[in-house]
Amino acid sequence: MTSVPSLTASLQQRVSAALAAASPSAAGADPLLRRSDRADFQANGVLGIAKKAKANPRELAAEVVGHLPADDVLAEVEVSGPGFLNLTVADAAITTRLAARAADDRLGVAVKAEPGRTVIDYAQPNVAKEMHVGHLRSSVIGDAIAKILEFSGETVVRRHHIGDWGTQFGMLIQYLIEHPHELDHPADSDSGEGAMSRLNRLYKASRAVFDADPEFKERARRRVVDLQAGDPETLALWHKIVDESKIYFNSVYDKLDIAIRDEDIVGESAYNDMLVETCELLEKSGVAVRSNGALCVFFDDIKGKDGEPVPLIVRKADGGFGYAATDLSAIRNRTGELAADTLLYVVDARQALHFRMVFATARRAGWLTDEVTVRHLPFGTVLGKDGRPFKTREGESFRLVDLLDEAVERAAAVIRAKSQELTDAEVAERAAEVGIGAIKYADLSTSLGRDYVFDLDRMVSLNGDTSVYLQYAYARIRSILRKAGEARPVAHPELPLAPAERTLGLLLDEFGETLAAVAESYEPHKLASYLYALASAYTTFYDQCPVLKAESPQLVENRLFLCDLTARTLHQGMALLGIRTPERL
């Protein structure tokens, strides 16, 4: 594991040092180095620094050039315009850097100097309910962020805060007590779909009685009390319902190719024993006050349309605990026992106010200190082609499984059309990787906060910014490497690089920096757009630079080397997004 500094970082350091040498007042100033069309990089920072020092920018720029070390990294430096520096890297420096990356398992990507401990709350479906398209985003985004953070060296604790507690369980359990065979099923049918249809049946049947029969309603209400008190029979049935739901969740997560570990499923119920204490602590410290019988927290800056303050209700007037009491208890657990220094919540943007109030309350109570970073990572809504929230004609949410199945079917059609020689089994296997990858990529390549249109035709398209395009680029490289026969990928720093090779090479060198930025800002779409740029640069390289038919054996080796590193970078990047890269397509 050897981390390799990027050329950008090396240049940044050289230019900063030269700046400081040329103008002592510029020590520590940012040279504002950017990739550029004119040369490889342009540094624009001299202008501002000259202005501050009341110096002539072109003269200062020339002096900076004089202080740049004459080593083998820079091939050319020129002052342009009012005082920009255009910097061109030596071909050999590019190839040497890439060779160092290729020699490392992590492609030379550094781990954080001071990794922390992050608890990430994502993939939180609700027990006894179908998973719909809203659960897709939380799962896909959360899984990617968790993987990216882990790769950066961070310790990551995953928490699936499933909705497994609440008054609706009184109704379900009471109905089960009165109809003990409702969840029975033949021993051989424990599929996820089967589990969900039994839960749906239970839900509908109990709901109907609940709405029609006031005495049942009362029995259901008492059942909630029994559940909260930990009555064994009630708890056993509650477990049965939760377990049945987990069978269903796991089947959907299998399809989605997202690994969910049982020990990370720590749902609302897990904090039940803390709720009373959480409320007592809030009340004693004066953070929460009684208002019309309910325990509430008020905020100066949170008011409703009528100008009245909107409180966070921690405990209802009837004594019931709400969603907020659970989230506050979870914060105590996460910053306390779990000793996290960062808390992330990958949850729908519509819950923004809830989290704002919960975080502010936890701060006042001292459960969140300045040492802890807490972020709600709100995501936008998935829309239908009509630009409205994606719903069936009946106004219901689409079942997530149906969307996944359809994506896989569409992918199968695309694959079959492109590669006729594949057997049905091969098509099926690849279709799952391509179809699920397409859904994940469409989600991850949009910035989190934005809504996006669920358009399967676009998602599985071979052209444009799609995972299929990236997967084909990967498979094409793998096929070239297979066809190379005796020829091996070997770096030859002595060879000059063609423009398309330079572009590809400089991009390959930016992988680590891209990952670091993504891990810092929690923006997986930046990794997606990096990978797309990389695949596009590869396509241009492939069009302009023959690989196996290159003029000399050295050139063949060096191009194979670029191919191999591109494939590895694509593979690693896609894996961090949770997307497979089939060897053949």
Which spans of this chain sit near ligand ARG (rule: CB under 6 A)? Answer: 121, 124, 126, 161, 163, 327, 330, 345, 347
Compare residues 121 and 564 and give the one whose CB is closer to ligand ARG. Answer: 121
Compare residues 5 and 320 and give the one whose CB is closer to ligand ARG. Answer: 320
Q: How far is the CB of 358 from ligand ARG (least distance, A)?
A: 8
Judge whether 42 and 33 are in contact, CB under 8 Å. yes
What residues form DSSP beta bridges with 391?
397
Q: How far is the CB of 133 from ligand ARG (least distance, A)?
A: 12
| Residue 89 CA: distances (Å) to CA of 14, 97, 135, 301, 557 | 12, 11, 46, 53, 22
Q: How many C-alpha atoms does 513 have within 13 Å on its Cβ side?
A: 12
Kind plus residue range of the DSSP H or E element containing 96: helix 91-102
For 230-366, where are the alpha helices, taking DSSP H only?
A: 232-256, 275-284, 323-335, 352-365
Q: Amino acid identity of 453?
A: V
Compare residues 143 and 327 and give the one whose CB is closer to ligand ARG. Answer: 327
Kind plus residue range of the DSSP H or E element containing 557: helix 553-577
Compare residues 401 and 460 and give the one whose CB is closer to ligand ARG. Answer: 401
Q: How far is the CB of 356 from ligand ARG (least distance, A)?
A: 13
Number of H helices, E strands in the chain: 20, 13
> CA 376, CA 348: separation in Å to the nearest integer?
9
Q: How far is the CB of 160 from ligand ARG (least distance, A)?
A: 9
> CA 381, CA 388: separation in Å to the nearest integer?
9
Judge whether 553 and 487 are in contact, CB under 8 Å. yes
Q: How far is the CB of 140 from ligand ARG (least distance, A)?
A: 15
> CA 307, CA 452: separation in Å to the nearest integer?
33
What residues form DSSP beta bridges with 246?
none
Compare residues 133 and 412 and give the one whose CB is closer to ligand ARG. Answer: 133
Q: How far is the CB of 345 from ligand ARG (least distance, A)?
A: 6
Q: How far is the CB of 577 from ligand ARG (least distance, A)?
A: 22
Compare residues 165 and 561 and give the one whose CB is closer to ligand ARG. Answer: 165
Residues 6+ apart with CB under 8 A from 581: 470, 471, 474, 475, 570, 571, 574, 575
Compare residues 330 and 547 and give the one whose CB is closer to ligand ARG. Answer: 330
Q: How far is the CB of 162 from ligand ARG (least distance, A)?
A: 6
Per the structure block, which two tokens stand in for 465? 């910014």
Q: How many C-alpha atoms does 227 have within 13 Å on its Cβ side?
A: 26
Compare residues 102 and 266 and give the one whose CB is closer to ligand ARG. Answer: 266
Kindly give the interhelix angle for 424-444 and 467-483, rounded to the nearest 10 degrees.
Answer: 130
Residues 6+ apart with CB under 8 A from 110: 3, 512, 516
> CA 421, CA 413: separation in Å to the nearest integer?
13
Q: How far is the CB of 354 from ligand ARG (least distance, A)?
A: 7
Per the structure block, which two tokens stand in for 169? 């369980």
Find, among 86, 84, 63, 87, the residue nearest to 73 by Cα: 87
Q: How far is the CB of 300 from ligand ARG (least distance, A)?
A: 24
Q: How far is the CB of 304 from ligand ARG (least distance, A)?
A: 22
Q: How far is the CB of 121 from ligand ARG (least distance, A)?
A: 5
Q: How far is the CB of 144 from ligand ARG (least distance, A)?
A: 17
Find, among 359, 376, 128, 106, the residue nearest to 238 by Cα: 128
Compare residues 391 and 416 and give the one whose CB is closer to ligand ARG. Answer: 391
Compare residues 377 and 506 and give the one whose CB is closer to ligand ARG. Answer: 377
Q: What is the largest CA-CA distance in the chain?
A: 90
Compare residues 213 and 243 and give the one whose CB is closer to ligand ARG. Answer: 243
Kind plus residue range of the DSSP H or E element containing 428: helix 424-444
Compare residues 270 and 534 and give the one whose CB is closer to ligand ARG. Answer: 270
Compare residues 16 and 124 and give the one whose CB is closer to ligand ARG. Answer: 124
* Beta carbons within 10 angstroms of residue 37's beta carbon: 6
> CA 121, CA 337: separation in Å to the nearest integer?
16
